[in-house]
Amino acid sequence: MNNNLLRYSIGAVLLFGLAFFAFTWQVREGNVAILVRLGRPVEVVTEAGLHTRLPPPIDRVVLLDGRNRVLRTRHTEMLTRDKKNVIVLTYVVWRISDPLRFYQSLGSIESADAKLDGLVTNAKLSVLGAYDLSALVSTDEADLKATEIQKAIMDNVVSKAGEKYGVTIEEVGLERLSLPEGNTKFVFDQMRAERKQYAARYRAEGEREADAIRSKTTLEVAQIRAEGEEQAARIRGQAEAEAARIYAEAHSADPEFYRFTRSLDAMSKMLSGKSSIVLRTDSPPFDLLQEGSR
């Protein structure tokens, strides 16, 4: 009797377990699911937890990852507006926003990656064809348009990805730029030319600044010289005035002695150096050389 009860209990537990697993299913956090009944989607489940279903093969559950995913595009050579070949690697951050449309149009994550890769590649071909190579590679920051290019690529794919595949594009970014061997020399030559332009501009600015400093210095020197000459003239005038005053006082004190000293000064100046002069001794101021002259 006890053995039969045990067997019945175990059988009941097994039947309950089988029924539980046959009629229920679970959605984990971060996942979305589609309940397919006899090959036709009947319910989209986005809330995590335990849900009911009919047992297989009537109902089938398709689980999809609803978290953000990162796709890195393949290597594809493309042409810029100035006819330069470049290889631009991009990354795409995307997630499933419409699980039913995603399932009906793509069916799997692998198919989504392939479709989005083609979509982004076509967008890159279109967008980069409107920009020169300098928008991607330049020593002048004003020429770089990476942010603008990323936004243009994203704007090109957002609506298409959402309408066709039920996918939301969160971000499109430029990950790496590669150049074919034939373009490498062109890029280096372009960078050298830009460096030379910078050097010429800085040299011209330096020369202008040097000219300005020289002009300012010349003006200051002229002003200092003018002030010095003015001060010298003023001092010279004061000295001459003082000398005239002294001469006047000396003349007033002893006119004869003053005439005598002035004659000596005049004769000293006339006979200075190696000058040879023939004059009458009775003519002033040489009359002082005569005996008995005062």
Distance CA 30, CA 26 (A): 12
The model's pTM = 0.54
SS3 assignment, position 96: strand
Per-residue model confidence as pLDDT tens digits over 188-224 = 566 666 667 777 888 888 888 888 898 888 888 888 9
Range name among 66-70, 91-95, 239-243, 262-266 with the lowest pLDDT average: 262-266
DSSP 23-78: HEEEE-TTEEEEEEETTEEEEEE-S-EEEE-PPTTTEEEEEEE-S-EEEEPPP-EE
Q: Kindly provide the b/e burial profile for residues 201-235, where b requires at least 16 CB atoms within 10 angstroms of the residue's own CB.
A: eeeeeeeeeeeeeeeeeeeeeeeeeeeeeeeeeee
pLDDT tier, 117 (very low <50, low <70, confident <90, very high otherwise)? very high
Domain definitions of the chain by residue range:
2-65, 69-179, 254-289
pLDDT of residue 194: 66
pLDDT of residue 76: 77
Query: How is residue 220 written in tokens?
Result: 């200051």
Question: Which architecture, in CATH terms, is 69-179?
Answer: 2-Layer Sandwich (3.30)
Distance CA 271, CA 264 (A): 10
